[in-house]
Copies of this chain bind each other. A is one copy, B any other.
């Protein structure tokens, strides 16, 4: 869901990609991205592609042919990072964990001490499972072996604490259409000074000209033509970020946390279990209740889309058919939406003969009524 103010920004008159007014906007975006990423980094920019272009930029600029690239693999998007790193010719080494389960910090430390990679990549908010991978222990273990850390923040940024500096993340990227509440189309990225030095010292060419971060810096910082960035998309992103600054990042996180907790209380009252067992490891932006036995997930989603106009997502890969993925993020993370989706979910389950164990609305309302 996109805020009305962002829709309004989308139809503002376009200026050129080298217009002084356009660079004024990119400067505002740079500062506001520093705020939402919680970083003092100066290298914050929005790439002209969707979230996956942010992933590709992070991987293509830092993974090098033959060099060791450590992947913490516990979900679909981690696999995508691994695929991109292999395409760059990197030597990808993997620490595996079951989808939806967190890594053990000691295992991560042992793995990185053994492998001694140049780059470590993980997904902070795994959209495929609803798991929050806590960054701090990963970054500490990586820095102990002098590796740089890439964090995928696609489903965390703007909805829960990414905390780039506090966690020690070197390269983070995200998208615009989740926690930032904008249409898809740009990929926010932040890079630490340490990672930039590493990048500047690279001797092999980055295969992607389009996503070469140093060329992009000559554009956004040096104001020399690189590509024709979309004023439209930057207007929308600036508006989405301004809305976050007005709400306040902490207040926004708290809104997401509360609406997530209310949703979980509701689905648990219905009798559904959450895939992610430890509440502290759950995303506030995306919830993954398990499908109860006897319920057809595809039929349930089709009913909600076609009969009720509600689009929710299913599981991928090993989770196909076994979980739902229900977003409570950005402009869409509201008490009203939580109560509405619980009601609709209950009806959709009832259609397939599943009877709710308890009162979802009451359970959710109880959480929503708790003082902050």
A residues sitting closer than 8 Å to B (CB atoms) are 2, 7-8, 10-11, 13-17, 19, 48-53, 55-56, 60, 80, 83-84, 86-89, 175, 177, 183-185, 205-211, 225-233, 236, 311, 316
Contacts and interface: CB of A to CB of B under 8 A. Distances in A.
Residue with the highest number of chain B CB atoms closer than 10 Å, among A60, A225, A232: A232
Top-9 shortest CB links A-B? A183-B232, A207-B207, A185-B230, A52-B227, A10-B10, A56-B210, A184-B230, A7-B11, A184-B228
A177 B228 contact: yes
A206 B228 CA distance: 24
Nearest to A175: B228
A348 to B, nearest CB: 18
A11 B6 CA distance: 9
Given A7-B11, A183-B230, A232-B10, A207 B175 contact: no
Contacts of A87: 205-209
A183 B22 CA distance: 14
Given A60-B207, A207-B208, A50 B50 contact: no
Contacts of A53: 48-49, 210, 227
A210 B16 contact: no
Contacts of A13: 2, 7
5 contacts: A55-B210, A56-B208, A175-B228, A183-B233, A207-B208
Nearest to A10: B10
A266 B172 CA distance: 52
Residue with the highest number of chain B CB atoms closer than 10 Å, among A205, A209, A227: A209
Contacts of A89: 207
Nearest to A54: B210
Contact of A228 (B50, B86, B227): B50
Nearest to A17: B184
A211 B87 CA distance: 12
A86 to B, nearest CB: 7
A2 B19 contact: no
A228 B51 contact: yes
Contacts of A207: 60, 87-89, 207-208
B49 A209 contact: no
Contacts of A55: 210
A230 B80 contact: no
Contacts of A210: 49, 52-53, 55-56, 211
